[in-house]
Amino acid sequence: MAEYSENVKRVLAEQGISVGDRVLVERPDSAYEGILMPNHEFSDPEVLIIKLDNGYNIGVRLVPGSRVKKVSGKAPQEKRKIRLSFNPRLPGVSLITTGGTITSRVDYETGGVVSLMSPEELLSLVPELADIVFLREVRNPFNEMSEDMMPWNWQALANDTVKALNESEGVIITHGTDTLHYTTAALSFMIQDLPKPVVLTGAQRSSDRPSTDAAMNLLCSARIAGHSDIAHVGICMHASMNDDYCNFILGTRARKMHTSRRDAFQAINDTPLARVWPSGRIEVLKKDYRKRTKGEARADAVFEEKTGLLHAFPGSPEPLHAMVDKGYRGIVIAGTGLGHVPRPWLDPITRAIESGAIVCIAPQTLYGRLNPFVYSRGRREYEQGVLFLEDMLPETAYVKLGWLLGHEEYTEEEVKKKMLEPVAGEISKRSLPGGFV
């Protein structure tokens, strides 16, 4: 944080004002009321940052003649009572919260966003949910922002999801968006015999901001979980920058393609499974989806931690050597073009394979399909024993390889064979329509 000027420090001290207090700034020309936020490193020392009631922050310069008053102390974090009127005639759905922006709000101590909200508070923001589904239970196995989700979180979440799924008509999981596509891919593999929808959703803007996408994403997720017959694990998030409808994208084909846009999640090499409107309209785009059945889901939540993901680049393959030295059992390389690595990367690949590791190549371009037979480099890698993963996303490939290697009962040949066969729609022999920029 930058230092305030001596003048501003004195004004704040005189009024006993600190960050988080509600203040009124009166300037000769204007007045602003709101909560005093911390200033940033780049703030002007004469400027107070105020969060207005509409949720936006503004910088207010203390021009000569300005006065600052404390209106009230730190606002207690509001605890709205959950006012869902449960209607057991509606489809019974379970909600699992794991952390992330969708259950976050601005922290007045730091000015940033923190994961603090209780499931009840989240639901109180979207009371319309009670008219769509009968919320049987809310589970909260852990709270992590998604950048901290690790394979053991996926395993815990898969186990919890299976329990919840077998007692309801569908499951909604709220999750941070950074690695939402990794987790969704993991659940796509770790939940077998899936008879019902598992809908992961998140928000790009925290739930206490006027521009939040949390409410619509939750409503659309409830429509899929409770009212669709699509028995897949997928991501349900905004389809565009408008608050009109969401896409439901297969969990192994989704990727976060923008840092901040609400429509950041895109189907890669695929079309979304369905479009869904908050009003309840569901337009299925992929006709060959798996339908609801009566069976029970089964958790297959294993993962080999000695698995890694690397992107080939024009430079030294030190990171690849390191994975071999550390005894990695599986390595996914995002290769260039049709699946190539630079010449110096061939040696560590040989070392990896000789050490018993499985080495796979996925497309660094993200879009499109690999082909080892067009160029001599591809044929060389293929002859080394590298697996070419067709049109599988690198992130999905990492998750799948770690999951397969987690099965101690599989032989190396079985892992290789399964890596090249679709388990959850993650690989196709023929390119699917749609799915390029």
Nearer to a copy of itself, 198 or 370 (CB): 370
Q: Please enumerate in sequence order all residues whose Cβ is within 8 A of that of 119, keeping only pairs 6 or more positions apart, or say none.
A: 95, 97, 103, 138, 140
Of the residues 61, 67, 69, 258, which one makes contact with a copy of itself according to CB under 8 A: 258
Q: Is 141 in the site for a copy of itself (CB under 8 A)?
A: no
Question: Is residue 179 involved in binding a copy of itself (CB under 8 A)?
Answer: yes
Distance CA 309, CA 306 (A): 10
| Dihedrals phi, psi of 31, to nearest 5 degrees | -140, 145
270-290 burial, b for 16+ CB within 10 Å, e for fewer?
A: bbbbbbbbbeeebeebbeebe
Among 234, 363, 406, 425, binds a copy of itself (CB under 8 A): 363
CB-nearer residue toward a copy of itself: 168 or 207: 207
Whether 256 is catalytic: yes
- Residue 66 CA: distances (Å) to CA of 9, 63, 222, 251, 340: 14, 6, 50, 55, 64
Q: In the range 382-401, which residues lie near a copy of itself by CB under 8 A? A: 395, 398
Footprint of a copy of itself on residues 4-23 (CB under 8 A)? none
User: Does 177 help bind a copy of itself (rule: CB under 8 A)?
Assistant: yes
Among 45, 59, 342, 385, binds a copy of itself (CB under 8 A): 342
Residues 142-161 that bind a copy of itself (CB under 8 A): 145-151, 154
CB closer to a copy of itself out of 127 and 319: 319
User: Applying CB under 8 A, does 248 fall inside the site for a copy of itself?
Assistant: no
Which residues inside 184-243 make contact with a copy of itself, applying CB under 8 A?
none
Q: Output 206 or 228, the one with its CB closest to a copy of itself.
A: 206
The minimum distance between CB 130 and a copy of itself, in angstroms, equals 31
The H-assigned helical ranges of 84-179 are 119-124, 151-165
Annotated active-site residue in 98, 177, 201, 336: 177
CA 264, distance to chain mean position in Å, is 10
> How many residues interact with a copy of itself (rule CB under 8 A)?
78
Furthest-apart CA atoms within the chain: distance in Å: 79
252 catalytic? Reply is no
Does 429 sit near a copy of itself (CB under 8 A)?
A: no
Q: What does the angle CA 326 – CA 332 – CA 335 come to, to the nearest 5 degrees?
A: 125
Question: Which of 305, 347, 412, 414: binder of a copy of itself (CB under 8 A)?
Answer: 305
Is 281 a residue that touches a copy of itself (CB under 8 A)?
A: no
Q: Does 403 interact with a copy of itself (rule: CB under 8 A)?
A: no
Active-site choice (21, 178, 213, 391): 178
The answer to whether residue 70 is catalytic is no
**207 touches 117 (CB < 8 A):** yes
Using DSSP bridges, classify how beta strands 67-72 and 134-139 pair: parallel, antiparallel or unpaired: unpaired
Cα separation, 172 vs 144, whole angstroms: 17
| Closest distance to a copy of itself from the beta carbon of 402 (Å) | 8
In the list 116, 257, 285, 423, the residue contacting a copy of itself (rule: CB under 8 A) is 257
| Residue 177 is among the residues annotated as catalytic for this protein | yes
Cβ 187 vs Cβ 157: under 8 Å: yes
Q: Please state, as a whole number, how many other Cβ atoms lie within 10 Å of the Cβ of residue 305.
A: 13
Active site residues: 101, 177-178, 256
